[in-house]
Structure 1
């Protein structure tokens, strides 16, 4: 009886201590907020006990392929900045440019990736997209030489893959999924550019030097399906907040293993090359190859694999997403297709003609091409949502008080999320036609820096921005030189500028982008 009583007393004392600390912390936060002239967020979304209702709501939206759409709906209902608790974690959702600027730039040191390393770790390990601090700085320093202008402007190697892309396309109007080919193109070009050897999936998607096919065949999962599935699970883990560790199915572990085996081919090749004594940076072709530079510093296979997977994710998924969206919109707008093709043919001629040289500088002389790419990035940004976690008590500039213009106090541990797609379709910024694909808006309006963020901003702005834009622009030019007509071949009702998207770490068209292409005379 005494031992039971003692246990009850200890539990009661423990609960009292926790409650006392909680109250003291809340009082301290209120005092800090008042001293900093902060006010509570303008709106709080009803979340239910422990934020379970909000978690269920977002989980359901994710399953229905409308996660960022649901966040946008909440912004339309509760304003540009609101508080929502998800499984015990307070999250501030904001599409205020001033707040995003604070998180990514002016108050950069107040925020980190939070749990991202643990959430993404099973697939991506320790790399530029999972690390903070010194680890991130080191990874970025290694990558920077890969994306110098000379490296990005070298189009000869890219052209090999683009020609293979064209040869893989039906030229007689037969419907096909152009997104699937874009994924293979960007995998080939990224492995060539970053690792020094292409997987050549456009040559054969079911057989390569690695021994793991790009496509799934005869019930055996390929690299693409495994990589995409693993990213989908990572997105689910992220939405579970502190309970991410509960989401770790066997299929996820097996998919991660296959992806790692795929990349290990390049790891082992690089280590053997360095051990041969032939490795130099840049190599004998005058190219800086990221993998070779990294292998000169370490022979740790996991460290090499992690870094490669992080950058492969960016090199493959984001550019293929952009290209797919461009052709999704072009297939639905003959006027834009005609205007863009006229600009390209007048500048460079058709594929059969000997026109002007296509290079890094001449591509920049095509304003309408730039408008089309910018508009696709606005409406369907490859990375539609992002976020950070406060590592100390801090503030956000706006979003508090009845008018939403006062600062907000952000306690340590608060997650700040921003959905770029919702920012890019704010009618008060982009106009009443913000949901429409209209490239001409870029000739009429220039957004302020933090109103348009397809490549993020601040110290962690995308290093590969110019590489992605150069690759996408070159592919568009070559395809419009070759083909005179493009038609939509997607089945089912047309959703216009808001297609069904699969949101993982990046986003892709859920059912592909089916088109018909006709060769130019």
Structure 2
């Protein structure tokens, strides 16, 4: 190597070390200013350079279908709030309801949804794909699987990709773009919506047409449609799937709930009227839904990003009661799945399906199946009513359930929502005359 090369290499090393030292000094000064203490940190969670060992464990957990359990194991080892670093990105993980409340509500302006705009790659001029015969559901599931995996690596998401993922994104985008263009065309022609036609009938409300009146940006319209599809497609299915898996594993509870359903809503042959208010008033039905949501929340894991230097109220110091300094750009990762299984909150039987635990129980931020704060799920009541109605009708029709799953280990098909990776294998019996 020439002397010039040595000088350049030395300068790069010096610049890197100086930058790290300055960052460490600034971090310590800010932490003292906010009167914060450190939680369990990087050295305990990861021992390889750049957190590569943790990176590998995350990848193994995702591919092995046990990511929520992996997070639960981390909490058992490192505590309810800890900090880790992967590939230069800093993350604070927490399952403390007080920290989650701060992130989603009381310090809402300090945190934002991470800006990872390329998680779903937009098609370029050279990426046109024929969407003839597209299996939309299969492409959607594939894109979600990869997007979920990429989310695990924060701003290093670009390290995780594949040709299949890119093709799925392109096909989905082009498929939705077709309907977006139809809506924009209808809007440009001035076709009225929600107005009575000449026959006096009211036109059907079309969500995309309504959006097209607010913006002409086709990419924004596509994103809004995909977002609504994501929020509405899998969450209710997730709740129903996990509920009936729990009932299959606990058939005595199936019989108890069926008796309650028939007492309140009649038999399958002679049902009484089932209204939203009736479903909500059936406390035992709500207990069963809540217990399934507690054990298997549809969105078990989420993230935010600090939009400025700020703090979390708890998690620092040896006792975890001090504030934690959170520099701008730090990712806050929280797991509702793990929080819902904390024994100090839910009891020693926190991992068990026990709907009766909800009798007289009032909950706050320790129970967040639909998130919380300003971004709480706007469709939560609809989802509960929909799941409740389907549950009632199924229990009216079938008098017994059998668990047909042979694998004793529950695996998670965790995209952005969670479902059983093995499916829900049950046998339902129609009553004999």
Cα distance change of structure 1 residues 282 and 338 upon mapping to structure 2, 3 Å threshold: farther
Which segments of 5 or more consecutive residues in structure 1 lack a partner in the other structure? Answer: 124-209, 214-221
* Corresponding position of 1:371: 287
What's the Cα RMSD here? 2.3
Within 2, Cα distance between the matches of 1:243 and 1:31?
A: 28
Q: CA deviation at 1:103?
A: 1.0
2:173 and 2:222 in contact (8 A); partners too: yes
Q: 2:153 aligns with which of 233, 237, 240?
A: 240
CA distance in 2, matches of 1:341, 1:211: 45
Does the Cα contact within 8 Å between 2:293 and 2:369 map onto a contact in 1? yes
Instruction: Tell whether 2:366 aligns with 1:451.
Output: yes
**2:242 is the alignment partner of 1:325:** yes
Whether 1:494 and 2:411 are equivalent positions in the alignment is no
Alpha-carbon offset, residue 310 of structure 1: 0.8
User: How much has 1:381 moved relative to structure 2?
Assistant: 0.7
Q: How far apart, CA to CA, are the structure 2 residues paired with 1:111 and 1:407? A: 16
Choose which of 383, 392, 399 in structure 2 pairs with 1:477.
392
Q: Distance in 2 between matches of 1:419 and 1:42?
A: 17
2:345 is equivalent to residue 434 of structure 1: no
Matched-pair contact (CA < 8 Å) for 1:384–1:506: yes
Kindly indicate whether residue 144 of structure 2 is the aligned counterpart of residue 231 of structure 1: yes
Give 1:297-312 correspondences, 5 Å limit: 297-312=214-229
- How far residue 113 of structure 1 moved from its aligned partner, in angstroms, is 2.2
In the alignment, structure 1 residue 396 sits paired with structure 2 residue 309: no
Question: With structure 1 as the length reference, what TM-score do the two structures score?
Answer: 0.75
Query: What is residue 505 of structure 1 aligned with on the other side?
Result: 416
Of 506-515 and 12-21, more deviation after overlay is shown by: 12-21
Structure 1 Cα separation of the partners of residues 150 and 70 of structure 2: 18
Offset of residue 7 of structure 1: 5.3
Distance 1:262 1:347, change over 3 A: farther
8 Å Cα contact 1:351/1:482 also seen in 2? yes
Q: Which runs of 5 or more structure 2 residues have no equivalent in the other structure?
A: 124-130
> Is residue 280–residue 385 contact of structure 2 (8 Å, CA) maintained in 1?
no
The superposition leaves residues 428-451 of structure 1 with CA deviations (integer Å, 9 ceiling, x where unpaired) of 00000000001110104322x110
* C-alpha distance in structure 1 between counterparts of 2:18 and 2:293, whole Å: 49
CA contact (8 A) 2:243 2:289 kept: yes
Does the Cα contact within 8 Å between 1:38 and 1:407 map onto a contact in 2?
yes
Does structure 2 retain, via aligned residues, the 8 Å contact 1:102–1:396? yes
- Determine if contact 2:122/2:170 at 8 Å carries over to the other structure: no
How far is the alpha carbon of 1:33 from its aligned partner? 1.3
Cross-structure match for 1:30 = 28
Name the structure 2 match of 1:362.
278
Where does residue 379 of structure 2 map in the other structure?
464
- Distance apart, 1:470 and its partner CA: 1.6
State the shift of 1:356 in Å: 3.0
Using the alignment, how far apart are the partners of 2:397 and 2:195 within structure 1? 35
Separation (CA, whole Å) in 2 of partners of 1:243 and 1:486 = 45
CA contact (8 A) 2:154 2:331 kept: no
CA distance in 2, matches of 1:122, 1:76: 40
Question: Is residue 42–residue 403 contact of structure 1 (8 Å, CA) maintained in 2?
Answer: no
d(CA) in 2 for partners of 1:384, 1:504: 10
Asked if the contact 1:486–1:517 (Cα under 8 Å) also holds between the matched residues in 2, the reply is yes
CA pair 285-429 structure 1, distance change in 2 beyond 3 A: farther
Contact 1:223 1:259 (8 Å CA) reproduced: yes
Looking at structure 2, the residues matched to 282 and 438 of structure 1 have their Cα atoms a distance apart, in angstroms, of 50
Match of 1:347 among 229, 246, 264: 264
CA distance in 2, matches of 1:265, 1:512: 32
1:385 deviation in Å? Answer: 0.6
Q: Please tell me whether the aligned partners of residues 41 and 81 of structure 1 are also in contact (alpha carbons under 8 angstroms).
A: yes
What TM-score do the two structures reach when normalised by structure 2?
A: 0.90
SS in 2 for 1:387: strand
Q: Secondary structure at the match of 2:91?
A: strand
User: 429-438 or 510-519: which moved more?
Assistant: 510-519
